[in-house]
Amino acid sequence: MLNALLAAHPSSRVAVSSIGLDGEALDTVSMLPKPSILLATGSLVASAMDCVMASEARLEVIGHTGIQTGLGEIVLARVIRPGACLVAGPSTVQGMEQAVSALKAQGAEKIFVDGAFARASHSLATDALVFVVGAHDGVRMAQVVENARLLLQRFSLAQAGAAFEFLADEASVGWLDGQMGFHALPLPSALGQEERLLDSLPEQANWLWLPGALSPAFARAFVKRRAEHRCGLVLKSPLSLVTEGQELRNLFLLERPLLVLQGLRLAFVAVNPYSPAGHRFDSAAFKAALSEVTDLALINVLEDTDFESHP
């Protein structure tokens, strides 16, 4: 996916970073082969110094970030001889924001951050994300598509209006009345306090503000006690909703308003009908099924010849 994005912008000065280690021969978790990250001359990279030194491409260090990792400082480098690059970027959202800003200052026009679903919070440091769905998620296409539908709905939560912006500075769990007045609850967070929180929530609450994570335990309690409240929910971002599976499905079925202070923009859905486990889906049927749950462009970068025409 990353190499396809790079190839689709031959006339732009591109830059790359990663939330983990990418470009190595074998995945450190699955031990399966991984494609190399191929960078052309003039491309930029924000990566740990050890990776810069170990890359096949020849890289010239042009800047320092001061961000330290187990693989050395995150430095800015320019490709002066093309080839495969080993990339390991900052491990925090703040660090990635710093790296992205530094790459822009060096003239990067398109910056691509290789991500991972388990650490999706790094997408908050970017302008948009590509959602990748593949056969690796399961052997039943219908279940894979349903999982994708729920996650796409999660990533597409509506952004709250200006009237809610003051909550960004509010660290306390609390509720909002009909006049948008905020009432803090005597709880440090919702985690482990689900029942106590709902006990404290008055019937007249219009909105419940959760400054931390909305956990599976809270989702279960909120749905179970739905007859006791009528409020909507406000979160920092879609990534604050850390619930999946049946709990997430039930929460959405409740059809309560669920807003976020900082929304995410989905660029398109990348489709992979193959699984490293050996099974595969029919590519056309997989796309057709996904088209029933999203209006986003569906792109298989190994088969779609018009990939470059998509924004």
Helix, strand, coil distribution of the chain in percent, nearest 5? 35, 30, 40
What is the reported pLDDT for 124? Answer: 75
Could you tell me if 232 and 256 are in contact, meaning their C-beta atoms sit under 8 angstroms apart? yes
* pLDDT at residue 103, rounded to an integer: 96
Mean pLDDT of 299-304: 90
| Three-state secondary-structure class, residue 69 | strand
- Rounded CA gap, 86 and 114, in Å? 12
Residue 129 DSSP symbol? E
At residue 20, the 3 state secondary structure works out as: coil
Q: Where in the chain is the domain with CATH 3.40.140?
A: 157-260
Pairing of strands 58-69, 72-81: antiparallel
Q: Are 264 and 129 in contact (CB under 8 A)?
A: yes
Q: Is the pLDDT of residue 261 over 70?
A: yes
Mean predicted lDDT score pLDDT of the chain: 91
CATH of domain 157-260: 3.40.140
Q: pLDDT tens, 225-234? A: 999 999 999 9
What does the pLDDT look like over 200-227, one tens digit per residue? 999 999 999 999 999 999 999 999 999 9
Residue 20 confidence (pLDDT): 77
Angstrom distance (rounded) from CA 270 to CA 98 = 27
pLDDT of residue 188: 75
pLDDT, tens digit (0-9, with 9 covering 90-100), for 146-188: 999 999 999 999 999 999 999 999 999 999 999 999 999 988 7
* Per-residue pLDDT at 32: 75
* pLDDT of 308: 57
pLDDT at residue 307, rounded to an integer: 62
Backbone angles phi, psi at 166, to 5 degrees: -60, -20
Q: Strands 266-272 and 298-299, how do they pair?
A: parallel
Where residue 251 falls among pLDDT bands split at 50, 70, 90? very high
**How many CB atoms are located within 10 Å of the residue 47 CB?**
33
What is the per-residue pLDDT for 10? 87
**What pLDDT is stored for residue 310 in this prediction?**
54
Q: What pLDDT, on the 0 to 100 scale, is given for residue 116?
A: 73
Predicted confidence at residue 88, as pLDDT, reads 92
